Structure 1
Amino acid sequence: MKVNRVQLKKGIYILPSLLTTCGVFCGFYAFIATMEDKFDVAAVAILIAMVFDGLDGRVARLTKTSSAFGVQYDSLADVISFGMAPAFLTYAWVLKPFGHLGWMAAFLFLLCGALRLARFNVTKPDLLGNNFLGLPIPAAAAVISSIIIAFEDLFFTKLDPIIMVGVVYCLAFLMVSNLKYPAFKQLEFKKRVPFTRFLFIVLVLYAFATVPKIALFIITGLYLLSGPFLFLKSVAQSSNAPQQQGVDPK
């Protein structure tokens, strides 16, 4: 019985792989900062990993250096930087007093993030259009990071552990849910946009320039809520559609 094997090309593309490696380094450094009780620094390292995660794929497409190796490497990097790092950070920050219940909650976040990545890798992009199925794992990591930065640097305290457990469970559920989240895949800067959208972008940039920690906390929270909002919107539209079809045009 013959087994077909895929012969890999020798070598890897340097630039996108280097960007992915930088993301892995940021995720690893988040572990180091967490063990030194520098929780806000660890949260920032995770956010920097998000920047590299957003760059590697775009650079690969622009330079036509996309490869199967790059896809798999990027997924492994995401598990480290956006799954293991924020899970460990959350446990060390406020979940440790819960004992095994605390680290089980952190593990659930990691598990659901890994499942979310696996589902993303086997889902055809054309099926969802300009949306993600489930909360992306980098967005879930960004929510945790923004909470820690806000409470450590602005409120000089820690979030109530019980509330944080609820947040972790909520993020885990949303990652493996069927809720749709905006992917911004069709966002192009060459096309014309309405003035109101341009004004909104300017306001967001202004907020990040003046009060970055508060802006980050609000933006990540709004994105987190966008999934349930789009779901409720679609339910409302589907329930109104039969009523509109039954209206007599006379």
Structure 2
Amino acid sequence: MTEPQDPAGTAVPDLSARPRRKGIYILPNLFTLAALFAGFYAVVMAMNGRFDLAAVGIFSAAVLDSLDGRVARMTNTQSTFGEQMDSLSDMVSFGAAPALIVYEWALQGLGKLGWLAAFIYCAGAALRLARFNTNIGIVDKRFFQGLPSPAAAAMVIGLVWVMDDFGYKGVEHIPWLAWTAFGFTVYAGLTMVTNVPFYSFKDISFRRSVPFIVIVAIALAFAVVAYDPPRVLFGLFVLYGLSGYVVYLVKKSRGKPVSVIAVSTDEPDEQGLHQ
């Protein structure tokens, strides 16, 4: 195939054959960047001793992180760039930031054990996110494989928020509280990399009609959280952080499959799963 020529006989490049430049969808990535900012803000606040604001930053990042994927799907603006950006943002907001905050708050008083606990959490978050990205096509979407990193961050930072709200300062010099933070941090870090199934809530459709009582219940839930955010949110995420082991034990006792890895990549939501 010959290139078109101008009247003088010079070849004219075919501009239509050039590959189109790939753009970046701004709307979902705005939510991702906002979540990243909230995580960074949380670290800065912790460095200045404002652990209450650090906790608000982490919980705000969790809310924003839950929205970016939904916004992308609703507006049909999913992209590989957005997926990678979301993972990097999660590593900062729910991996590095909580580890640094809880270390600054309590774990530094435990010496080497303190920073080792913080590292276990940070490494657990990195491994959890890497496994999530590689197994996304073969995992039963009704469950998470291990504790999701936003919930793990909420457990650890929820403890910080509650105790700070109770008036505990200089926690690194309060042994029982420092060891409690140690236990929460290690538990969250290790639970992220287990195969324990945690309910994902992804099978709940927001497009279906619901009874009026459901809307009333949602309004009451907002009121309860607003009444005492630190204690209510901390309690909810502690219960969620334990729920996976309860589901595991119940399924095991009934002889049901406990793995969330699907047998066939063609049907990731199938009922038959590996033992």
Question: Which residue of 101, 104, 107 maps to 2:116?
Answer: 104
In the alignment, is the contact (CA less than 8 A) between 1:133 and 1:179 conserved in 2? Answer: yes
Give the TM-score of the pair, scaled to structure 2.
0.78
**Separation (CA, whole Å) in 2 of partners of 1:60 and 1:38:** 33
Q: Which residue of structure 2 lines up, in the alignment, with residue 70 of structure 1?
A: 82
Q: Which residue of structure 2 lines up, in the alignment, with residue 56 of structure 1?
A: 68
**Separation (CA, whole Å) in 2 of partners of 1:90 and 1:114:** 17
**How do residues 69-218 of structure 1 correspond to structure 2 at under 5 angstroms?**
69-125=81-137, 127-156=139-168, 158=171, 160-191=177-208, 201-218=218-235
Q: 3-state DSSP class of the match of 2:98? A: helix
Q: Which residue of structure 2 lines up, in the alignment, with residue 12 of structure 1?
A: 24
Relative distance call for 1:211 and 1:25 in structure 2 (3 A) is same
Relative distance call for 1:70 and 1:196 in structure 2 (3 A) is same
In the alignment, is the contact (CA less than 8 A) between 2:35 and 2:60 conserved in 1? Answer: yes
In the alignment, is the contact (CA less than 8 A) between 1:133 and 1:180 conserved in 2? Answer: yes
Taking every aligned residue pair, what percent have the same amino acid on both sides? Answer: 42
**Separation (CA, whole Å) in 2 of partners of 1:15 and 1:84:** 25
Gaps of 5+ in 2: 1-18, 257-275
Q: Which residue of structure 2 lines up, in the alignment, with residue 221 of structure 1?
A: 238
Relative distance call for 1:235 and 1:14 in structure 2 (3 A) is same
List per-residue Cα deviations over 1:159-185 (Å, max 9, x = no partner).
Answer: 711121111111111100000001100
Query: How many residues of Structure 1 are paired with residues of Structure 2 in the alignment?
Result: 233
The aligned amino acid for 2:222 is: L
Q: Which one has the bigger helix percentage?
A: 1
Gaps of 5+ in 1: 1-6, 240-250
**Separation (CA, whole Å) in 1 of partners of 2:113 and 2:201:** 36
Instruction: Compute the RMSD of aligned alpha carbons.
Output: 2.2
Question: Which residue of 51, 62, 71 maps to 1:39?
Answer: 51
Shift of 1:98: 1.5
